[in-house]
Amino acid sequence: MQRKKNATSSYELKEIIVTESKYPQTSQEITHRVDALEKEEIKQINLPNRNLAEAIKYLPGNFVNPLSRNDANWGSYGGLGPKYNSWLLDGLPIDSFVDPMSLDFIYLERIEVHRGPASVLYPNYMTMDFAGNQTPLAGITNLITKEKIEKTYTNISLGYGSWNTINARVYHEGNAGPFNFFIGSNYEQSDYTNYVTKPSWLNMIDDPEYKKIKDYFKTTYFFTNDTKLSLFAHHTKHDGDTGRPHRGYDHQYDIINLNFSSPLTNDLELQIKGGYRYYHRSWEEDNYPINLSLREEDGVKQNIYPFDIVLHFKHWGKSLLTLGVDAQYSTYETYKKISGDKNIGNDVKARNFGIYAQEKIVYDKWVFRLGARYNYTKHSYDLISEVKPSVDEKSWDRLLWSAGIRYNFTDKIGIYANAGSSFLVPSAKSVGGTLSPSDRGVPGKNG
């Protein structure tokens, strides 16, 4: 009953301020459906696989399906796969597959799930790994971290469980006048089981094990109540093995966000955001079932740099004009190491540029929204499956649109509709895969 009461107070009894237009507004002033989970409720949600996607699995339109603590966020949004809902961290895109597993809940202020087409204000994410590029066709999920720390808080926890599982966390947040901050570190290790099958259905000869370390911090400096500069950094180190001597893995995920916002006049606000994402997954392959010796080490590296500059102009009461430019630059590389020699499989660079405008008119009980984006994407292929391709670059450009309308019968009841267009270019993994021609027929090489 307590959980039900908290959920009711989060959704109905208090006014929810959301950032559907990258600018704080009440839910009555937007045409999308937005579900907001506040930090008090996030703390009460059980995340059995330590995956932030599990926090939203009971919200309408979401199917969340991480299979383990080390698995990506396989699920669906609005009946579509996870690549059709863009995940954001403080308004900048992140990987909807990997980052919900990497990030931590303890520093979140709020999670907002926006349902409906959002391809005008929010760009595609130029990731090449897992299922590839991601687009906000079915909406966005925005993780919003803490900025204003009202009082000092420290959390130290330690846990032990089955399979020699150890969990430890040290976290602290506080402020010194206009300077606000949080800092923390998590550690987790475990020996898995082979599911009591003999022989193991995963061909294990020993219990697999893993370690996961998370380090993170954020600092926010308020020059005034409305002018602020923040820096966020998160590092995840994840390594272990899958139950055989030469089946180890070593993954690293890094995120940096730098955000600045300031009012230029009473009605005009500027936001500038930039970031860096680093994804590096490496794993060993052995000669099983012939023998257990090391055959090779495979890996995937990505570097992604997102940027966004936006102006908000308030006019005609609560109406809002949004103008912005965003860009991304990414590199993608797959490789294999055999006897110390590194062979590059795929080597691709991608660029994405967008310019967008959206007008939202709030008139009495009506809200009208119309927006458009011009988007340009270019891929440069240096190597595809270890070979220099005959077509070494490809570009796409599209004009996207989005529109919505809402009528508020009361403060609690409204009817609304949205429509829009989106597009998704093939990722480098879709073009070249992660397997080379020489892998055909090799045991353990499939997919």
Q: Give 3-state DSSP helix, strand, coil % of the chain, rounded to 5.
A: 10, 55, 35
The residue count of the chain comes to: 447
d(CA 15, CA 3): 19
Residue 411 confidence (pLDDT) = 86
> HSE-up of 135 (CA within 13 Å, CB side)?
17
Tell me whether the omega of the peptide bond preceding residue 93 falls within 30 degrees of 0, making it cis.
no
**What SS3 string covers 186-242?**
EEEEEECCCCCCCCCCCCCCCCCEEEEEEEEEEEEEECCCCCEEEEEEEEEEEEEEC
In order of 253, 259, 307, 324, the CA distances from 272 in angstroms are: 24, 6, 8, 10
d(CA 107, CA 214): 13
Cβ 116 vs Cβ 139: under 8 Å: yes
Task: Say if strands 86-89 and 139-145 run parallel, antiparallel, or are unpaired.
Answer: parallel
Residue 7 confidence (pLDDT) = 42
Tokens of 402: 């989005």
Tell me whether the omega of the peptide bond preceding residue 437 falls within 30 degrees of 0, making it cis.
no
- Cβ neighbours of 329 (radius 10 Å): 15
d(CA 233, CA 217): 6
Domain ranges across the chain: 2-439
Residue 196 confidence (pLDDT) = 58
Residue closest to 430 by CA, chosen among 293, 352, 306, 332? 332
Residue 434 confidence (pLDDT) = 57
Residue 4 confidence (pLDDT) = 41
Per-residue pLDDT of the chain (447 residues; tens, 9 = 90+): 334 444 434 444 345 577 777 888 888 899 988 898 999 999 888 888 889 999 998 888 888 888 777 777 777 787 888 889 899 999 999 999 899 999 999 999 999 999 888 999 999 999 988 878 899 988 999 999 999 999 999 999 999 988 888 999 999 999 999 999 999 999 999 886 655 566 666 788 887 888 999 999 999 999 999 999 999 999 999 999 988 899 999 999 999 999 999 999 999 999 999 999 999 999 999 999 899 999 999 999 999 999 999 999 999 999 999 999 999 999 999 999 998 889 999 999 999 999 999 999 999 999 999 999 999 999 999 998 888 988 899 999 999 999 999 999 998 899 999 999 999 888 887 776 655 555 555 555 544
Strand locations in 126-178 (E): 139-145, 153-161, 165-176
For domain 2-439, which architecture applies? Beta Barrel (2.40)
d(CA 119, CA 310): 15
- Which helix (H) or strand (E) segment holds residue 220: the answer is strand 209-222
